[in-house]
Chain A
């Protein structure tokens, strides 16, 4: 099994104080920053491009390419997306709580590379400990001269503001996050024309990167993009944090080199299923991802491209394991309820469709399902995500609405018997 630590190395070796500046400096911290500040900014971007680091927030867009799209207008901003809220995901929380300087150093390097003099770290409101640790790191960094004016005598200036969210999953969507940071409702913006690289925060060019993505930056600068690109299979370079939860013996965050199989991930890394119960299905990449089932997917390699080819995604790296005792109708209802609750409400199909789907599913789970409901679930889903394809097409502004469709496709294609059993028995067979 190929386990190699980049972003969790320090916290593993120094569990008691990995979050402090002393420990960070004692383990090579801020060396990458010093190195980067000696390089021209576009060379820094070049290293990140060479690393082929793909975004760790969900969409998996190549980070260096994203930076190179930044429009030249000034001021430019860097925004750290620490609004981790995808059900099943808890990796950024660990990175922020246990090694805040690492992501902060990544933020400073990123800001330097992109010519930004103000960066914002947006942390979800339900993560006060993350926010405190990051804030402490920011204060330490200011005091030590890694932030503020003339950083390390380079002439480069950077201010960092830690911003606390207040309970809205949609702010994890980058344009929703920018609206939120501007003091507005966290409604996603239209793309086009509001691509952050051109019209982002305050309509200025803006880089939005996920916490884990930024946590990789210091390593890349210190060891070179090529070294990073040498780790892991093509298209899935470097390591990746997987948040494993649900019916497994050893849930938790695991930093892994991609390329192992799902079987290895579930049975070796996470220790298999308690009481050796049978695996029923799993969500391979956060609540938005279409489900996988043992018969079809257990021996697929865990890479971005193989997962996409099989009709799903690694998304935020959240793997939720469901064993044979799971009522998939209930699980689906719970997932769709999440999206209905988190829909921002601005566009019609998502606002109306998600809660309609949720209500039908609850009705079925509670025993008042009708046979026509099955086709209706699919047809309503089709009106949110035409063709029910992957990657999803959308009648909506952002992908939140189509995300609610993923679990419905799973139960109607893999677990239709279970759905019909609810309808015919007038209740949940698992109760």
Chain B
């Protein structure tokens, strides 16, 4: 912070930070200067000219755009004098001469900046008697966005967003002068993961979102502020509904998280909430082996009875729980308490055999905050392609590298969305991560430049699993090395919406609520409240599935998880479910997993329950309800509470808010969390501290190579896949890339295949047919197959696959 300067705005002295744009200083001091092109999160361009004001200069008053004029000490500004007013009226008249007056049928009407500012600052009438400019209207520029060029006022917000923020400039100004228009390249649609942001920031109705067009009038909408649960960034959103139906999601500008932006998955991936496939009634498997609807009482009796039988026969440790990373902290806490105190098992995992050690994820020493990216000297990204799995985090890293001058090192088996901003990009063959790490540590050869970049502190490292062929130990070993870099902090990556909250609530074998480890004082305090904790150590996801397959685990309680589609080794999960003695599922849909359960309870979910979530940096945020759950659906915690009662245990849970209070009391680190404050003064969330102080351990990660005749498989997720939320969101479902095999051009040539040809990809656990995509960003010998695509079987967590024509 530098010394503030004094500026006189409309004869009133105000103080401001030097260099700040006048439009912002004025706004912060209650003087609104009209504008269209200026956006607080993008570089100013001064194009619309709406924000003209007059400043005093030695040569008399000078008309300037307040969005491009930095304040300086002693500056005198007039934003309302007659010449300013005339200029503003003039600009508005110019904007309106070619703008169609189709407000009655325009989605933007009622929340349209052009409409509002015309009323506040515009001339009463137009003197334009010529023919307006005409374009074909509206035209689809992608599956999700429609463009009406007649309404466009050429403020360049959308084009700047695409170039400056999301880095995929697929829409641009075309033509010149009075014929200027925004458009795509003729056959290259605006397929950006972030396209919806352009709709949100469009100051007129030029860009509209196909899923929302003509669905509601703004004044009929009901709003609530909440948090997105698709990825773990904790993006703040505004949920909007009409007649109890969720219709739209807008991004909120929350400084620590999404800063106004959303991915299209977050923005449009809510349609599943109102899907007709939602479960509306409990279901029980009948004598014929079919799931049929049942009453709550019947289903609870059935599940409680069967579970009780297993427990009394084989003990609580024969029961396991999977899931809980998709709900709230309160639901996760209830699940944890249910398993540990009513069932008596530590076998629980909210990760789907695709993550990292829970102690690393939520307990690492020197854990980074997202905001650390802003002041970073350099950034290391070695994990999933952030653009695919952590979209708003991707935007933050991009901004740090592009606008704030941080050096960026990206290590990944193929091209990523950040490569164009990376100082150094290292591509490698999956399985050889250990070698790559050794090279990085030595800092020789191709890694010399990377080490040079990473010598600029503070270093922020974002570490996770690049793909499922890679050992989770790699991220931990890398973390151990990174700690030797200057002022290093580490942000371990896991993607599911509330995976960090679920871990904090104890949904992993090793951790109890509040990041407490078994056998500690904190665990003892928990036992005082919960009763005796199960003594035997628990199993993680993979070992639970193996136990189910072998019969060591007899019963599974599933909460909002679909292991059959979601764990890398789908074949193992399927066998586990087939062999399981008893599966009790709490879900919103019949998934490939819950379809195999014995009892299914209909759960409420996103936009239907109130609670808290914890994001990737340990920030607790509020989620709120706007729409009722379908049919007889209930919150997870209530279902678990009733199920516990059938086992003869009173969990003592009466409401989500009461659960939250219980967490506050029990888990030291959650003491600062308060629901009321999270809705108001703490609406940007509260970071829960008190980390475990887990020190990552370096271990030599052995490099593995595929057997001869095989290719190394890079098996990783894409933003759109065949997860049930995507499958049940009609606007997004078609966007999944589908079954594909990306090959390096030399491998394609060797196999004699070209783009679009079909190949067979076969692993020990599965086989699929895929269309070839020529991908020069891969290393030769590597095949990339997107994970969990529609109608595609799982290849398993394997390293080598056979690829043949």
List chain A positions with a Cβ less than 8 A from chain B. 168, 185, 190, 192, 340-349, 351-356, 359-360, 363, 372, 376, 380, 382-384, 386-387, 393-397
Contact partner of A345 (CB less than 8 A), chosen from B91, B128, B179, is B179
Q: Are the CB atoms of B63 and A348 closer together than 8 Å?
A: no
Q: Are the CB atoms of A386 and B154 closer together than 8 Å?
A: no
Query: Which label, helix, strand, loop or mixed, suits the secondary structure of the A interface?
Result: helix
**A-contact bits for B169-193, CB 8 A (1 contact / 0 none):** 0000101111110000000000000
Q: List 18 A-B contacts (CB under 8 A).
A: A192-B68, A345-B175, A347-B46, A348-B48, A348-B94, A348-B95, A348-B153, A349-B49, A351-B180, A356-B97, A376-B127, A380-B90, A383-B87, A383-B90, A386-B87, A395-B49, A395-B52, A395-B91
Q: Are the CB atoms of B177 and A356 closer together than 8 Å?
A: no
CA of A384 to CA of B49, assembled, Å: 11
Q: Which residues of B contact A393 (CB under 8 A)?
A: 62-63
B98 near A: Cβ within 8 Å? yes
CA of A185 to CA of B176, assembled, Å: 9
Q: Which residues of A contact B87 (CB under 8 A)?
A: 383, 386, 395
**Given that A340-B177, A383-B87, A395-B87 are known contacts, is A352 also in contact with B95, CB under 8 Å in the complex?**
yes
B791 near A: Cβ within 8 Å? no
List chain B positions with a Cβ less than 8 A from chain A. 45-50, 52, 62-63, 68, 83, 86-87, 89-91, 93-95, 97-98, 127-128, 130, 153-154, 156, 173, 175-180
CA of A384 to CA of B128, assembled, Å: 16
Q: Are the CB atoms of A352 and B176 closer together than 8 Å?
A: no
Question: Within the complex, what minimum Cβ distance (angstroms) separates B137 from chain A?
Answer: 19
Q: Are the CB atoms of B47 and A348 closer together than 8 Å?
A: yes
Q: Are the CB atoms of B176 and A345 closer together than 8 Å?
A: yes
Q: Are the CB atoms of A168 and B48 closer together than 8 Å?
A: no
CA of A139 to CA of B742, assembled, Å: 47
CA of A397 to CA of B49, assembled, Å: 8
Question: Within the complex, what minimum Cβ distance (angstroms) separates B356 from chain A?
Answer: 41
Q: Are the CB atoms of A397 and B46 closer together than 8 Å?
A: yes
CA of A51 to CA of B177, assembled, Å: 40
CA of A354 to CA of B87, assembled, Å: 16
Q: Are the CB atoms of A352 and B178 closer together than 8 Å?
A: yes
**Given that A340-B177, A345-B177 are known contacts, is A356 also in contact with B90, CB under 8 Å in the complex?**
no
Q: Are the CB atoms of B46 and A352 closer together than 8 Å?
A: no
Question: Within the complex, what minimum Cβ distance (angstroms) separates B399 from chain A?
Answer: 18
Q: Which of B50, B89, B176 lies at the interface centre, i.e. has the most chain A CB atoms within 10 A of its CB? A: B176
Q: Which residues of B contact A355 (CB under 8 A)?
A: 177-178
Q: Could you list 6 further interchain pairs (A-B, Cβ under 8 angstroms) beyond the known A343-B176, A395-B87? A: A185-B173, A345-B177, A346-B180, A347-B49, A356-B97, A383-B86
Contact partner of B94 (CB less than 8 A), chosen from A352, A376, A386, A387, is A352
Q: Which residues of B contact A363 (CB under 8 A)?
A: 130
* Smallest CB gap from B99: residue in A: A352
Question: Within the complex, what minimum Cβ distance (angstroms) separates A250 from chain B?
Answer: 36
Contact partner of B47 (CB less than 8 A), chosen from A347, A352, A354, A356, is A347
CA of A397 to CA of B47, assembled, Å: 7
CA of A387 to CA of B83, assembled, Å: 9
Q: Which residues of A contact B86 (CB under 8 A)?
A: 382-383, 386
Q: Which residues of B contact A360 (CB under 8 A)?
A: 130
Question: Within the complex, what minimum Cβ distance (angstroms) separates A264 from chain B?
Answer: 34
Contact partner of A386 (CB less than 8 A), chosen from B48, B83, B127, is B83
Q: Which residues of B contact A394 (CB under 8 A)?
A: 63
- 6 A-B pairs with the lowest CB-CB distances in the bound complex, closest first: A383-B90, A345-B180, A352-B94, A355-B178, A343-B177, A345-B177
CA of A344 to CA of B176, assembled, Å: 6
Q: Are the CB atoms of B94 and A349 closer together than 8 Å?
A: yes
Question: Within the complex, what minimum Cβ distance (angstroms) separates A170 from chain B?
Answer: 9
Q: Are the CB atoms of A356 and B63 closer together than 8 Å?
A: no
Question: Within the complex, what minimum Cβ distance (angstroms) separates B405 from chain A?
Answer: 13
CA of A192 to CA of B19, assembled, Å: 13
